[in-house]
Chain A
Amino acid sequence: MRREPEAEEPRAPGRARRRRRRREGRARTVRSNLLPPPGPEEPAGRGARHLADNRLKTTKYTLLSFLPKNLFEQFHRLANVYFVFIALLNFVPAVNAFQPGLALAPVLFILAVTAFKDLWEDYSRHRSDHEINHLGCLVFSREEKSFVNRYWKEIRVGDFVRLRCNEIIPADILLLSSSDPDGLCHIETANLDGETNLKRRQVVRGFSELVSEFNPLTFTSVIECEKPNNDLTRFRGCIIHENGKKAGLYKENLLLRGCTIRNTEAVVGIVIYAGHETKALLNNNGPRYKRSRLERQMNCDVLWCVLILVGMALFSAVGHGLWVQRYQEKKALFDVPESDGSSLSPITAAVYSFLTMIIVLQVLIPISLYVSIEIVKVCQVYFINQDVELYDEETDSQLQCRALNITEDLGQIQYIFSDKTGTLTENKMVFRRCTVSGVEYSHDANARRLAMYQEADSEEEEVAPRGATLSQRGSIGSHQGVRVVYRSQSVKSHRRTGSRAEAKRASMLSRHTAFSSPMEKDITPDPKLLEKVSECGRSLATARHQEHPLARLTPELADVFDFFIALTICNTVVVTSPDQPRQKVRVRLEVKSPVKTIEDFLRRFTPSRLAAGCGSVSSLASGKAAHKPGAGLLASLSPDGALLRLEERLGRAPPAITDNGYAGAGGWAPDGAPRELRYEAESPDEAALVYAARAYSCALVDRLPDQVAVELPHLGRLTFELLHTLGFDSIRKRMSVVIRHPLTDEINVYTKGADSVLMDLLLPCSADDTRGRHQKKIQSKTQHFLNLYAVEGLRTLCIAKRVLSKEEYARWLQGHLEAEASLDNREDLLFQSAVRLETGLHLLGATGIEDRLQDGVPETIAKLRQAGLQIWVLTGDKQETAVNIAYACKLLDRDEEVLTLNADSQEACAALLDQCLCYVQARRARSAPEKTPGPVTVGFAPLCPPSAPAAPGAGPSLVVDGRSLAYALERSLEDKFLLLAQQCRSVLCCRSTPLQKSMVVKLVRGKLKAMTLAIGDGANDVSMIQVADVGVGISGQEGMQAVMASDFAVPRFRYLERLLVVHGHWCYSRLAHMVLYFFYKNTMFVGLLFWFQFYCGFSASAMIDQWYLIFFNLLFSSLPQLVTGVLDKDVPADVLMAEPQLYRSGQNMEEYRPRTFWVNMADAAFQSLVCFFLPYLAYHDSDADLFTWGTPITAIALFTFLLHLGIETKTWTWLNWMACGFSILLFFIVALIYNASCATCYPPSNPYWTLQALMGDPVFYLTCLIAPVAALLPRLFFRALQGSLFPTQLQLGRQLAKRSPKKLSTAKEIFAQGHPPGDQDSEHLELGSRSTWGSLPRGCAPGASQPPCSPEAGGERSAADATVPCGDDALLERPSCRVPQTPAPRKPVQEGRPGGAETKTPGPSRAAPLPSIFSLPNFGSFSWISSLSLVSGLGSVLQLPRASLQPDKQDSDFLPGAPQPERDLCSLRGQTVEYF
Chain B
Amino acid sequence: MAMNYSAKDEVDGGPPSAPGVTAKNRRPDNTAFKQQRLPAWQPILTAGTVLPTFFIIGLIFIPIGIGIFVTSNNIREIEGNVFMYYGLSNFYQNHRRYVKSRDDSQLNGDSSALHNPSKECEPYRRNEDKPIAPCGAIANSMFNDTLELFLVGNDSDPMPIPLKKKGIAWWTDKNVKFRNPPGEESLEERFQGTTKPVNWLNPVYMLDSDPDNNGFINEDFIVWMRTAALPTFRKLYRLIERKSDLHPTLPAGRYYLNITYNYPVHSFDGRKRMILSTISWMGGKNPFLGIAYITIGSISFLLGVVLLVINHKYRNSSNTADITI
Contact A1099 B97 (CB under 8 A): yes
Q: Assuming the A-B contacts A497-B13, A500-B22, A1185-B227, are A193 and B43 also in contact, with contact meaning beta carbons closer than 8 angstroms in the complex?
A: no
**Cα distance, A333 to B20, chains bound together (Å):** 85
Task: Give A507 Cβ to nearest chain B Cβ, in Å.
Answer: 4
In-complex Cβ contact of A1044 among B3, B177, B283 (8 A): B3
A1276 within 8 A of B: yes
A493 within 8 A of B: yes
Q: Specify which chain A residues have a CB less than 8 angstroms from the CB of B150 in the assembled complex.
A: none
B163 within 8 A of A: no
Q: Assuming the A-B contacts A339-B122, A501-B26, A1287-B318, are A334 and B137 also in contact, with contact meaning beta carbons closer than 8 angstroms in the complex?
A: yes
26 contacts between A and B (CB under 8 A): A233-B1, A285-B2, A330-B269, A334-B268, A388-B27, A388-B34, A500-B17, A501-B22, A1045-B3, A1095-B94, A1095-B230, A1096-B231, A1099-B94, A1103-B94, A1180-B288, A1181-B232, A1214-B38, A1239-B108, A1243-B120, A1253-B170, A1258-B282, A1276-B45, A1277-B306, A1284-B46, A1284-B310, A1292-B322
Q: Specify which chain A residues have a CB less than 8 angstroms from the CB of B21 in the assembled complex.
A: 469, 500
B21, B125, B325: most-surrounded residue (chain A CB, <10 A): B325
Q: How many residue-residue contacts, CB under 8 A, span A and B?
A: 423
B229 within 8 A of A: yes
Task: Give A257 Cβ to nearest chain B Cβ, in Å.
Answer: 9
Interface segment, one of A126-134, A733-741, A1376-1384 = A126-134
Total B residues in contact with A, Cβ cutoff 8 Å: 130
Closest to A1141 in B: B325
Contact B45 A1179 (CB under 8 A): no
Q: Specify which chain B residues have a CB less than 8 angstroms from the CB of A1182 in the assembled complex.
A: 233-234, 283-284, 286
Closest to B266 in A: A330
Contact B85 A336 (CB under 8 A): no
Q: Specify which chain A residues have a CB less than 8 angstroms from the CB of B228 in the assembled complex.
A: 1183-1186
Contact A1291 B286 (CB under 8 A): no
Task: Give B52 Cβ to nearest chain A Cβ, in Å.
Answer: 11
Contact A1184 B28 (CB under 8 A): no
B246 within 8 A of A: no
Contact A1180 B93 (CB under 8 A): no
B55 within 8 A of A: no
B6 within 8 A of A: yes
Q: Specify which chain A residues have a CB less than 8 angstroms from the CB of B107 in the assembled complex.
A: 1240
Instruction: Beyond the given A500-B24, A1127-B36, A1296-B323, please list 20 additional residue pairs across the A-B interface where CB-CB is below 8 A.
Output: A285-B4, A333-B141, A339-B125, A340-B123, A387-B28, A396-B22, A465-B22, A467-B23, A493-B19, A1095-B94, A1177-B288, A1180-B288, A1240-B104, A1246-B177, A1258-B282, A1266-B289, A1276-B53, A1287-B321, A1292-B322, A1296-B322
Q: Specify which chain B residues have a CB less than 8 angstroms from the CB of A502 in the assembled complex.
A: 13
Contact A383 B36 (CB under 8 A): yes
| Closest 8 A/B residue pairs (Cβ) | A504-B22, A1189-B229, A1280-B50, A339-B122, A1101-B96, A1211-B40, A1284-B47, A467-B20
Contact B325 A1289 (CB under 8 A): yes
A1100, A1133, A1239: most-surrounded residue (chain B CB, <10 A): A1239
In-complex Cβ contact of A1280 among B9, B10, B51, B64 (8 A): B51
In-complex Cβ contact of A284 among B6, B28, B120, B137 (8 A): B6
Contact A132 B50 (CB under 8 A): no
Q: Assuming the A-B contacts A470-B18, A499-B12, A1185-B228, are A333 and B46 also in contact, with contact meaning beta carbons closer than 8 angstroms in the complex?
A: no
Contact A1266 B296 (CB under 8 A): yes
A503 within 8 A of B: yes
Within 8 A of A (CB), among B40-91: 40-51, 53-54, 57, 61, 64, 68, 85, 87, 91
Contact A492 B19 (CB under 8 A): yes
Within 8 A of B (CB), among A1188-1224: 1188-1190, 1207, 1210-1215
A1178 within 8 A of B: yes
Contact B97 A333 (CB under 8 A): no
Contact B22 A503 (CB under 8 A): yes
Contact A397 B26 (CB under 8 A): yes
B25, B36, B51, B303: most-surrounded residue (chain A CB, <10 A): B36
Contact B120 A1244 (CB under 8 A): yes
Task: Give A286 Cβ to nearest chain B Cβ, in Å.
Answer: 8
Q: Specify which chain A residues have a CB less than 8 angstroms from the CB of B116 in the assembled complex.
A: none
Contact A1045 B229 (CB under 8 A): no
A1259 within 8 A of B: yes
Contact A1281 B307 (CB under 8 A): yes
B276 within 8 A of A: no
Q: Specify which chain B residues have a CB less than 8 angstroms from the CB of A1269 in the assembled complex.
A: 57, 61, 296, 300
Task: Give A1260 Cβ to nearest chain B Cβ, in Å.
Answer: 10
Q: Specify which chain A residues have a CB less than 8 angstroms from the CB of B97 in the assembled complex.
A: 336, 1099
Task: Give A271 Cβ to nearest chain B Cβ, in Å.
Answer: 17
Q: Specify which chain A residues have a CB less than 8 angstroms from the CB of B137 in the assembled complex.
A: 334, 336
Q: Specify which chain A residues have a CB less than 8 angstroms from the CB of B110 in the assembled complex.
A: 1240
Q: Assuming the A-B contacts A340-B123, A385-B28, are A1243 and B100 also in contact, with contact meaning beta carbons closer than 8 angstroms in the complex?
A: yes
Q: Specify which chain A residues have a CB less than 8 angstroms from the CB of B161 in the assembled complex.
A: none
Residue-by-residue, is B123-138 near A (CB-CB < 8 Å gives 1, otherwise 0)? 1110000000000010
Task: List B residues at the A interface (Cβ < 8 Å).
Answer: 1-30, 34-36, 38-51, 53-54, 57, 61, 64, 68, 85, 87, 91-105, 107-108, 110, 118-120, 122-125, 137, 141, 170, 172-173, 176-177, 199, 223, 226-236, 264, 266-269, 281-284, 286, 288-289, 292-293, 296, 299-300, 303, 306-307, 310-311, 314, 318-319, 321-325
Contact B230 A1127 (CB under 8 A): no
Q: Specify which chain A residues have a CB less than 8 angstroms from the CB of B319 in the assembled complex.
A: 1299
In-complex Cβ contact of A391 among B15, B26, B230 (8 A): B26
Within 8 A of B (CB), among A1253-1308: 1253, 1257-1259, 1262-1263, 1266, 1269-1270, 1273, 1276-1277, 1279-1281, 1283-1285, 1287, 1289, 1291-1296, 1298-1299
Contact A1186 B15 (CB under 8 A): no
Q: Specify which chain B residues have a CB less than 8 angstroms from the CB of A1259 in the assembled complex.
A: 282-283, 289
Q: Specify which chain A residues have a CB less than 8 angstroms from the CB of B96 in the assembled complex.
A: 97, 356, 1096, 1099-1101
Q: Assuming the A-B contacts A1276-B45, A1280-B49, are A1243 and B5 also in contact, with contact meaning beta carbons closer than 8 angstroms in the complex?
A: no
Contact B44 A498 (CB under 8 A): no
A902 within 8 A of B: no
A280 within 8 A of B: yes
Q: Specify which chain A residues have a CB less than 8 angstroms from the CB of B101 in the assembled complex.
A: 336
Contact B13 A498 (CB under 8 A): yes
Contact A500 B95 (CB under 8 A): no
A191 within 8 A of B: yes
**Cα distance, A975 to B46, chains bound together (Å):** 45
Closest to A1176 in B: B230
**Cα distance, A327 to B95, chains bound together (Å):** 12
Q: Specify which chain B residues have a CB less than 8 angstroms from the CB of A1180 in the assembled complex.
A: 230, 232, 286, 288
Q: Specify which chain B residues have a CB less than 8 angstroms from the CB of A1211 in the assembled complex.
A: 40-42
Q: Specify which chain A residues have a CB less than 8 angstroms from the CB of B105 in the assembled complex.
A: 1240
In-complex Cβ contact of B27 among A135, A396, A1103, A1215 (8 A): A396
**Cα distance, A1023 to B1, chains bound together (Å):** 8
**Cα distance, A385 to B35, chains bound together (Å):** 10
Closest to A504 in B: B22
**Cα distance, A258 to B13, chains bound together (Å):** 10
Contact A1103 B42 (CB under 8 A): no
Contact B6 A1263 (CB under 8 A): no
**Cα distance, A1249 to B45, chains bound together (Å):** 41
**Cα distance, A356 to B43, chains bound together (Å):** 43
**Cα distance, A1281 to B7, chains bound together (Å):** 57
Contact A470 B15 (CB under 8 A): yes
In-complex Cβ contact of A1266 among B42, B48, B141, B292 (8 A): B292
Q: Specify which chain B residues have a CB less than 8 angstroms from the CB of A1284 in the assembled complex.
A: 46-48, 307, 310-311, 314, 318
Within 8 A of B (CB), among A1128-1148: 1129, 1133, 1139, 1141-1142, 1144
In-complex Cβ contact of A1273 among B44, B46, B269, B303 (8 A): B303
In-complex Cβ contact of A1179 among B39, B226, B230, B264 (8 A): B230
**Cα distance, A335 to B17, chains bound together (Å):** 76
Contact A58 B34 (CB under 8 A): no
Closest to A1040 in B: B9
